[in-house]
Amino acid sequence: MDAAFTEEQHEIRRTLRELLHKRCGPDEVKAAVRTPPGYDEELWRRLAAQLGLPGLALPTAYAGVGCGPTELALACEETGRAVLPSPLIPTAALAAPLILALGSERQRAELLPPLATGELTGTLAVPGGRLATALALTGANDGDWAGGGRAGGIQARRVAPEGAAPGPEGGGWRLYGEAGQVLNGHTAEVLVVAAHTGGFARSRTLLFLVRADAVGPAEIAGRAETAGRAEAPVRGEGPAGLRGLLRTRQTALDETRPQARLELRDVPAELLGGGPGEGGGGDDGAAVARALAATGAVAAAALAAEAVGAADAALARTVAYVREREQFGRPIGSFQAVQHRLADLYVTLQAARSAVYYAAWSAGRGGSGERTAAPHGPRGPAEPGVAALALAQALEALRAAAAEAVQLHGGIGFTWEHEAHLYFKRAACDELLLGPVHRLRARAAEEAGLFPGGTDAVDGGAPAGAARPVGAAATDRAREAVDV
């Protein structure tokens, strides 16, 4: 691993930081989250047109920039520093990599260029709020996390072409169910939906494409208020048969990370990967799980980079304040107790930043751009445990930096309107969405093989046919260790 950044990578950071410094201050952020989309659409178009931000990690063959996870992480560090509300993470780190990995050539050619240029936005919809599980960040993603036929999930059924008898081949798909906590789900035009299909005999989780922009003009209702925002439903008003999609923006503590609830009632969908002969791998449940795990490594690095950027900004604001705020005739930053607290924060932040950079490098297999990438899909499996561990460290660093920012700003830091609460809310909500931290660390320990041997090694020779699954005790032991 070469730890030195290239000139191109430095330029990406510098350009993005300058633009966001001018256009994305705390007042602009608070104004943007109160709009129906939840972000500044004009700024998003500018970031997409001038910097190619949503296509940063996509190949040039699909109108992308041709960089890799490292460059995407560097960009996310800057957007995190500004606490930028945008569809960058769901589009560039979730939807686009999955389409690139599993989509047929027709689907890639149709969807990736508009996603890369910002004309469309996308997201990943996972039922039950199990995004971290689906991405294999807090546990194995080979289970029935998409519903498994139970209430609360999303079910997919095949429908026969018009005038033909039902059969296993051909025809389209219909989705029925709901998913909550979908990042930017109320505005994304391309929905990648995880759904359960196959019944009991061929039970598996597959990914489906729903073109929400094909539903027709959207009716966005609701009030844009600061706290206690009313949920804003977005109803499809398109042709018959496409009226089953209901999207509702949910009230969230962190308004800079908009979330939505999707309700699907026999919504037409297309299998990601297409039908037989289209060259995709979307009908293979194992391939879907691998693609989700590989996407999880990239998404974890990007989200962790955002957390590091936000923690860095919170620390910088706190240091600036303690230099100015005087008590007992001297700046409070001159007191040794305050200096020790800030020094500890700095060390924690730098450790998290190093972990994030390594996770981004590992997700790209040490290379940036498409020279080291496969023609389609992820660059290969990242080093086991790296992504989850980096995300855990970054979330811990942000939580500590935000808490100290509130404390050291004194009385003004406790007011809800102060900028410190932007970081505090981001820290709290990201951990709720992707954590908790101890589960991320436990998953990293599992993947790294820190507790090999399964049940026998941990339980002192318990029989293999015991009631608990093999490896369950090892998992519990790993979680207890990281909790300590």
pTM above 0.95, yes or no: no
Predicted local distance difference test score (pLDDT) of residue 462: 40
DSSP β-bridge partners for residue 196: 155, 205
Q: What is the b/e burial string over 298-334, where b = at least 16 CB atoms within 10 angstroms of the residue's CB? A: bbbbbbbbbbbbbbbbbbebbbebbeeeeeeeeebbe
- Say which DSSP state 89 is in: I
Q: Which amino acid is at 84?
A: L
Q: At what angle do helices 437-448 and 386-408 cross, to 10 degrees?
A: 150
Predicted local distance difference test score (pLDDT) of residue 393: 96
Positions of E strands within 164-257: 172-183, 190-197, 204-211, 218-220, 232-236, 245-249
Q: What are phi and psi of 220, to 5 degrees?
A: -100, 115
Q: At what angle do helices 386-408 and 285-324 cross, to 10 degrees?
A: 30
As to burial, measured by CB atoms within 10 angstroms (0-12 exposed, 13-18 middle, 19+ buried), residue 375 is exposed
Identify which of 98, 91, 99, 97 has the alpha carbon closest to the alpha carbon of residue 115: 91
Predicted local distance difference test score (pLDDT) of residue 204: 84
Residue in this structure with the two tokens 């109320």, named with its chain if needed: 186
- Say which DSSP state 194 is in: E
- Please tell me whether the peptide bond between 59 and the residue prior to it is cis, using omega within 30 degrees of 0: no
* Other beta carbons less than 10 A from residue 9's beta carbon: 17
Q: Which amino acid is at 458?
A: V
Residues 429, 339: contact at Cβ < 8 Å? Answer: no
Predicted local distance difference test score (pLDDT) of residue 272: 94
Q: Tell me the pLDDT of the chain (484 aa) as tens digits.
A: 667 889 999 999 999 999 999 999 999 999 999 999 999 999 999 999 989 999 999 999 999 999 999 999 999 999 999 999 999 999 999 999 999 999 999 999 999 999 999 999 999 999 988 999 999 999 888 877 766 555 568 999 988 766 555 555 556 899 999 999 999 999 999 999 999 887 666 778 899 999 987 644 333 333 333 334 444 444 443 333 346 899 999 999 999 999 999 999 999 999 998 765 565 566 788 899 999 999 999 999 999 999 999 999 999 999 999 999 888 889 988 899 999 999 999 999 999 999 999 999 999 874 444 433 444 444 556 788 899 999 999 999 999 999 999 999 988 888 878 899 999 999 999 999 998 999 999 999 998 888 775 434 433 444 444 444 333 444 454 444 444 3
User: Measured between alpha carbons, how far is 87 from 257 in angstroms, rounded to an integer?
Assistant: 9
Q: What is the dihedral of CA 448, 395, 123, 151, to 10 degrees?
A: 80
Backbone angle region of 279, left / alpha / beta, with phi > 0 → left and psi within -120 to 50 → alpha: left
Q: Are strands 122-125 and 190-197 parallel, antiparallel or unpaired?
A: parallel
Predicted local distance difference test score (pLDDT) of residue 33: 95
